[in-house]
Amino acid sequence: MANIQLGEKLYEESGVKAPAGNEAEDAFDLELYRDATSSSRAFLAVNLSLQIFFKNHPANGGDWDFGSRQRFLEDYKAAVYSVWDNQWDIKCTSGNLAIETVQVYFYLKLIEGGWNWTENYEVTVTKMPKNINPKSSTSVLNKTVTLDSNDTNGVAKKGRKIGCSGASCSVEQRGAAHEFGHMLGLRDEYPGATDPIAGWEHDGSSIMFAGETVRPRHYAIFLPFLERAFAKEAQLTSRSVEFKVDGLWNLSNSSLGTRS
């Protein structure tokens, strides 16, 4: 979790539907804050509440105990934050706003077991031996995620870095970080996926392919929220407000809704 200084809350929405990709319903809650230290910067907080169920697998992985459960929760947060937090600035490219730059941070509330009606997703984690490669999946329709105890460990994948040759081009990925992308409403980018996105099938390093690199296109799902946040100011000034990730990328050129 980022150590940032939040100022005034500018706007918020709960139960936001991802505007592209899987179009997940009630995918996350969003809050926009001014930076308490800079008048030209704001912070977008992407909040997800996850209910975690730990499943024993005595035949293969044994039982979860308190220590192993806590380690998994800590490693899960570390995997998500290290991959997804503040990878690209979102720039205001029109509208003459005081806010010029928005940084994106993710906040996870992990609820272990029990009954809860406010979660965005239910996550089941099965205990498995360390030598078994994880097999994970996400259903945005049912709001469920299936992981195992190895999904916070990096696993070598078949994808390769763009424009690279040789052994150093191979990539690793933690399943927890990849499945988190699906929870945001992003689809797979690798060839052979059930419902792959078109146009990025050669980007092996991408978090939605085989690596752990978040591209500008992956943040484009937040742009409609920012435009709604400043819609009143746009109306008062009679100027449209537009944001782009890294000053270049929006939903159109990211092709997030395009099927292969």
- The answer to whether residue 250 scores a pLDDT higher than 80 is yes
The Cα–Cα gap between 233 and 238 comes to: 8
pLDDT band at 45 (very low <50, low <70, confident <90, very high): very high
Q: Which residue has the tokens 């933690």?
A: 174
Residue 134: per-residue pLDDT? 75
Q: Could you report the per-residue pLDDT of 133-190, keeping only the tens digit for each?
A: 778 999 998 999 999 999 999 988 766 666 566 666 778 999 999 999 999 999 999 8
Residue 221: per-residue pLDDT? 95
Residue 248 lies in a domain: yes
Q: Between these two residues, 161 and 211, which has the higher pLDDT value?
A: 211
Taking CA atoms, 32 is separated from 44, 47, 198, 218, 241, in Å, by 5, 11, 31, 18, 16
Residue 61: per-residue pLDDT? 66
Tell how far CA 31 is from the center of its chain: 15
Q: What total of structural domains would you count in the chain?
A: 1
Residue 241 lies in a domain: yes
Q: Could you report the per-residue pLDDT of 65-109, keeping only the tens digit for each?
A: 999 999 999 999 999 999 999 999 999 998 778 899 999 999 999
Residue 56 lies in a domain: yes
73 contacts 227 by C-beta, under 8 angstroms: no
Residue 68 lies in a domain: yes
Residue 117: per-residue pLDDT? 78
Token pair for 35: 């930076």
Q: Between these two residues, 57 and 73, which has the higher pLDDT value?
A: 73
The Cα–Cα gap between 130 and 54 comes to: 16
Q: How much is the mean pLDDT over the chain?
A: 89
Q: What is the mean pLDDT of residues 225-252?
A: 88
Residue 237 lies in a domain: yes
Residue 5 lies in a domain: no
Range of the domain at 206: 13-254
Token pair for 133: 């490669």
Tell how far CA 135 is from the center of its chain: 19
215 contacts 209 by C-beta, under 8 angstroms: no
- The answer to whether residue 1 scores a pLDDT higher than 60 is no
Residue 175 lies in a domain: yes
Residue 205: per-residue pLDDT? 93
Q: What are phi and psi of 66, to 5 degrees?
A: -55, -45
Residue 4 lies in a domain: no
| Ordered DSSP codes for 182-250 | HHTTPPP-STT-SSPBSS-TT-TTBTTTTS-BPPHHHHGGGHHHHHHHTHHHHHHHT---EEEETTTB-
CATH number of the CATH domain containing 116: 3.40.390
pLDDT band at 225 (very low <50, low <70, confident <90, very high): very high
Q: CB under 8 Å to 115, separation ≥6 — which residues?
A: none
